[in-house]
Amino acid sequence: MTIEQTYFRKGFGLKDEVRPLIESEYHSALVEEIRARGYQARYGDVTVRLAEEFGFCYGVDRAVDYAYETRRKFPEKTVYLVGEIIHNPHVNQRMREMDIRFLYPDSKGRFEFSEVEPADVVILPAFGVTIEAFEELRKIGCVLVDTTCGSVLLVWKRVEGYAKDGFTSVIHGKFKHEESRATASQVRKHPNGRYLMVRDMDEAELVCDYIAGRPGKLSREDFLERFREKSSDGFDPDRDLERFGVANQTTMLASDSLAIGQRLEAALIEARGPAYAAENYRSFGTICSATQERQDAVVKMMENPPDIMIVIGGYNSSNTNHLAHLCRSYTKTFHIQDSLCIDVETGEIRHKPELAAEAPERTETEWLPEGPFQLGLTAGASTPNNKIGEALLRVLEIRGTAPEPSTLAQSE
């Protein structure tokens, strides 16, 4: 194969062949029926309301398509995946069943590719990979199927542009998340590229205090210690926070990213005045449209909050965590990883009760109201519809009701 033939970003033209299989594995007729009825349906004493945007986004759709196409295109080859294709345990399990092997990173997010041979095929996930991982794989010479989402590539372009112009990238994101690591690595395309990652407003305020030189700000040493893992090598807060541009992981809470950018700009104005800030601060919202639409749909639903909200998606899925966090401020919310978190026998639910990734699961017994109630449903961008349908069926079963048999026959 020539160099060109070992790198694929547009699939293999097998979409029509793999679509029926993907549809059969991830489709839910029940979910489609509720959508067709205007996102609301009543089953027994449960009124089900579906958010108007939920589930698989365009980037995930594409990544899953390409993974299935890859397996079909190279049936005899060893196929690897760098990390998880998306953050959904069910979809990742399907990848394993198709004999796609997973390469996992170490605690610092670095991948080890020594087992990959030139004859192998490696799929890059929707979140992308770091420059270093990409270059290492190119050197091996294996076939690369790159499913990095176009919205992630836009953030990379922005961050690379900041580095090229001598601006530090301040990235609102989780430094352990694959996408943020890959995004931060883009600054290394330029010799003096720098980044600093802030997870939330509390961390952003520490940076603001430092920039503005406020009383009680962290000392230089404490700042470096606090952001040691979240900044580029050789980061110097006195030098590298003089000019910066803000970007974010595509799946953060949009309102948080906006507020963080505004606070950072205000700190630069406080330190050096508006004319200086106008020249030396840049901002570009990089929340992807799919994340934005799912968050907007939840906000719309919460104009009249349901009694209970179930949010379905991987516990390590950033966009799902933010959807659940948003819902919690309006109503009783359960973030479940999978429909199996709802136990029909005992009537219990296992869920992640907090935003923090490391928050342990909690089991609730009396979680459903006694009389008629409204149940809201949404799902993260990496959750297939069949998992939403299965979760709903489980709740209905606990309530002793079920959709019409015609619906059940076509779906779960």
Residues that bind ligand SF4 (CB under 6 A): 57-60, 126, 149, 151-152, 250-251, 288, 290-291, 319, 381
Token pair belonging to 29: 């007729």
Cα–Cα distance measured from residue 412 to residue 25, given in angstroms and rounded to the nearest whole number: 10
DSSP 40-109: EEEETTEEEEE-SS-S--HHHHHHHHHHHHHHHH-TTS-EEEES-SSS-HHHHHHHHHTTEEEE---TTS
CB contact at 8 A, 401 and 44: yes
- Please give the single-letter amino acid code of residue 411: S
Q: How far is the CB of 380 from ligand SF4 (least distance, A)?
A: 8
Question: Which is nearer to ligand SF4, 60 or 393 (by Cβ)?
Answer: 60
Question: Which is nearer to ligand SF4, 134 or 235 (by Cβ)?
Answer: 134
Q: How far is the CB of 265 from ligand SF4 (least distance, A)?
A: 24
Q: How many degrees, rounded to 5, is the angle at CA 227 between CA 124 and CA 319?
A: 45
Q: How far is the CB of 227 from ligand SF4 (least distance, A)?
A: 25
Q: Where are the beta strands (DSSP E) in 140-262?
A: 143-146, 168-172, 195-198, 244-248
Question: Which residue's CB comes closest to ligand SF4?
Answer: 59
3-state secondary structure 119-155: CCEEEECCCCCCHHHHHHHHHHCCEEEECCCHHHHHH
CB contact at 8 A, 52 and 297: yes
Other beta carbons less than 10 A from residue 207's beta carbon: 24
Q: How far is the CB of 299 from ligand SF4 (least distance, A)?
A: 17
Of 178, 179, 265, 412, catalytic: 179
Q: How far is the CB of 290 from ligand SF4 (least distance, A)?
A: 4
Nearest to 408 by CA among 28, 25, 24, 26: 28
Question: Which is nearer to ligand SF4, 169 or 411 (by Cβ)?
Answer: 169
Cα–Cα distance measured from residue 246 to residue 228, given in angstroms and rounded to the nearest whole number: 19
Cα–Cα distance measured from residue 176 to residue 107, given in angstroms and rounded to the nearest whole number: 9
Give Cα 409 to chain centroid, integer Å. 33
Q: How far is the CB of 162 from ligand SF4 (least distance, A)?
A: 19
Q: How far is the CB of 49 from ligand SF4 (least distance, A)?
A: 23
DSSP 31-43: HHHHHHTTSEEEE
Active site residue 229: no
Question: Which is nearer to ligand SF4, 85 or 398 (by Cβ)?
Answer: 85
Cα–Cα distance measured from residue 11 to residue 73, given in angstroms and rounded to the nearest whole number: 10
**What positions carry a catalytic annotation?**
179
